[in-house]
Amino acid sequence: MDDEENVRYSFQKMLREPTYQVLVAADGMEALAAVQRREPDLAILDIQMPGMSGLEVLEHFKRSAPNLPVLVITAHGDSERVISAMKHGAYDYIEKPFDIPRMKGLIDDALEVGRLQRAGRRVEHSVATDSPDRIIGNSSAIQEVCKLIGRVAASDANVLLVGESGTGKELVARAIYQHGQAAGTPFLAVNCAAIPETLLESELFGYERGAFTGAVKRRAGKFELADGGTLFLDEIGDMCQATQAKVLRVLQEGTFERLGGEETVRVHVRLIAATNHNLEEAIASKQFREDLYYRLRVITITLPPLRERREDLPELTRYFVAKHCRQYKKEFVSVAPETMQVLLQHDWPGNVRELENTLKRAILLCRGNVIRPHDVAANLRPASRPKPDSPLDHLTVRVPTDLESHAGKLYDVVTSELERKLIADVLRRVRGNQVHAARLLGISRVMLHDRIKKYGLKTEISIDGH
């Protein structure tokens, strides 16, 4: 749409190849009628028009034909117009006189986006209206997590959640709380790493008036406020030893004193703790109390990193796209198939949190409501973490010095010793979860059970802590 006849003619001449069919309109009303009559694949609008402006036409298009990509052109460009055009959903904004090869490139690009929008499956907003605390995924790894949640939720036992940052530890903590007998009672969360050591103790246990400068009145801490309910301590591995000692006392005796006070406060709180640290290494280096560790890990749930549950990526992507379309009031955004391949191939060092943030950015910045590979590639974190050790990295097998005494069975002796150490190491790393261990080893659970019995291995069962 352009009120200048020579501009309309220029577009007809530029797009005269058989692959294009060009409709021209001299004003806004004519353009609206043409779109309603013919349903084109792309619209090109001039901003400065007599009567109905190009921006008004753009608003009409976005209401009546939301999938229609719109290029905006003008001879009078300024920042306010650029912002207004993009805010109202323009695919791009170009000033006259424009470069013909660049314009043709933009047209072809916009037509491709329109094709992807029509071909892409619409993301239904009903997905985003599900419970915000719902655990997304059907992979075997996440199903094992859900089974453990179901088995332990009704108890009041303390739970330790372990896993890399961004794997959804708070989500699992809330699921345990919501499915437990204490649902409807308080649930409070504290990120121990986000609060300075000097303030964390008062945050957890409260303080009396005059306990320190600025303490003008008594304040209850999180343990007191969560009485009868659940307290989630995230990143507990960052807690200093002095505060660890007070937490241990609460777990052992159910009592504490507020900062600066002498009154003993009695509480009954279910504690769910989470960490991305190896607490066993922290115990060895005297940074974490061993007695607190065993109080916390009555039940241990290990959350898998996203790279170990890639089959959940499409469902997670649909969920986050729908959720944030709703948040940003976008009707819908589709994900191009080649974009999904980029997501599936990424290592996701930031796990589910990185995926969500990547999709949020792509939803805001993508053109034409289609997320394409370049919309996500710029935001993907490089895998800076060291590659996890293979279970074989620390396995050594001693070859008997007296070979003759093992003549004819040396191979069996050495391979059996290697198998024993491998299975023992994998079981230790997955904290006795035999389903997970069998999957990592690539053997059946029956075969794993047979080898455990054969080698007399002790298994550390996460569910009861024995």
Tally of structural domains, the chain: 4
Compute CA distances 298 → 142, 169, 323, 454, whole Å: 20, 17, 35, 28
Indicate whether 152 and 295 sit together in one domain. yes
Last residue of a domain, one of 377, 400, 431: 377
Indicate whether 24 and 39 sit together in one domain. yes
On the question of pLDDT at 354 being above 80, the answer is yes
Residue 128 domain-assigned? no
* Residue 366 or 295, more confident: 295
Indicate whether 45 and 108 sit together in one domain. yes
Residue 189 domain-assigned? yes
Indicate whether 254 and 312 sit together in one domain. no
Residue 382 domain-assigned? no
pLDDT at 439: 82
Report the predicted TM-score, pTM, of the whole model to 2 decimal places: 0.65
pLDDT at 123: 41
The helix/strand/coil state of 329 is: coil
Indicate whether 403 and 332 sit together in one domain. no
Distance CA 147, CA 441 (A): 21
Indicate whether 100 and 153 sit together in one domain. no
Residue 129 domain-assigned? no
pLDDT at 398: 67
Confidence of residue 320 (pLDDT cuts 50, 70, 90): very high
Other Cβ atoms closer than 10 A to 439: 17
Confidence of residue 348 (pLDDT cuts 50, 70, 90): very high
Confidence of residue 107 (pLDDT cuts 50, 70, 90): confident
pLDDT single digits (tens) 17-62: 777 777 777 777 777 877 777 778 888 888 777 777 777 887 777 7
Other Cβ atoms closer than 10 A to 167: 25
Indicate whether 326 and 355 sit together in one domain. yes
Confidence of residue 296 (pLDDT cuts 50, 70, 90): very high
Confidence of residue 386 (pLDDT cuts 50, 70, 90): very low
Last residue of a domain, one of 302, 333, 364: 302
Mean pLDDT of 308-329: 90
Indicate whether 349 and 424 sit together in one domain. no
Phi then psi dihedrals of residue 371, to 5 deg = -85, 115
- The domain that holds 292 is classified in CATH as 3.40.50.300
First-last CA distance in the chain: 75
pLDDT single digits (tens) 429-454: 777 778 778 888 888 888 888 888 88
Indicate whether 147 and 228 sit together in one domain. yes
Beta bridge partners of 162: 275, 302
> Worst-scoring range by mean pLDDT, 4-13, 18-27, 98-107, 416-425?
4-13
pLDDT at 125: 40
Mean pLDDT of 159-163: 95
Residue 130 domain-assigned? no
Given a contact cutoff of 8 angstroms between Cβ atoms, the answer to whether 327 and 193 are in contact is no
> Worst-scoring range by mean pLDDT, 94-108, 156-170, 345-359?
94-108
Last residue of a domain, one of 250, 276, 302: 302
Mean pLDDT of 287-304: 93
Residue with tokens 């660049």: 102
Compute CA distances 140 → 103, 163, 331, whole Å: 49, 16, 33
pLDDT at 227: 94
- The domain that holds 350 is classified in CATH as 1.10.8.60
Beta bridge partners of 234: 191
Residue 112 domain-assigned? yes
Mean pLDDT of 105-122: 70
pLDDT single digits (tens) 195-252: 988 899 999 999 999 888 888 899 999 999 999 999 999 999 999 999 999 999 999 9
Residue 113 domain-assigned? yes
- The domain that holds 102 is classified in CATH as 3.40.50.2300
For residue 394, the enclosing domain spans 389-466
For residue 97, is the peptide bond before it cis, meaning its omega torsion is within 30 degrees of 0? Answer: yes
The helix/strand/coil state of 270 is: strand
On the question of pLDDT at 1 being above 60, the answer is no
Residue 384 domain-assigned? no
Confidence of residue 154 (pLDDT cuts 50, 70, 90): confident
Indicate whether 295 and 310 sit together in one domain. no
The helix/strand/coil state of 103 is: helix
DSSP class of 121: P
- The domain that holds 405 is classified in CATH as 1.10.10
pLDDT at 127: 45
pLDDT at 126: 42
Indicate whether 348 and 329 sit together in one domain. yes
Nearest CA to 274 out of 313, 218, 235 is that of 235
DSSP class of 179: T
Mean pLDDT of 157-173: 94
Beta bridge partners of 159: 272, 299
Mean pLDDT of 355-362: 93
pLDDT single digits (tens) 250-287: 999 999 999 999 899 999 999 999 999 989 989 988 99
Contacts of 451 by beta carbon, 8 Å cutoff, 6+ apart: 419, 420, 423, 443, 457
Indicate whether 48 and 92 sit together in one domain. yes
On the 0-12 / 13-18 / 19+ scale of CB atoms within 10 A, 321 is buried
On the question of pLDDT at 463 being above 50, the answer is no
DSSP output for 426-466: HHHHTTT-HHHHHHHHTS-HHHHHHHHHHHT-----TTT--
DSSP class of 404: G
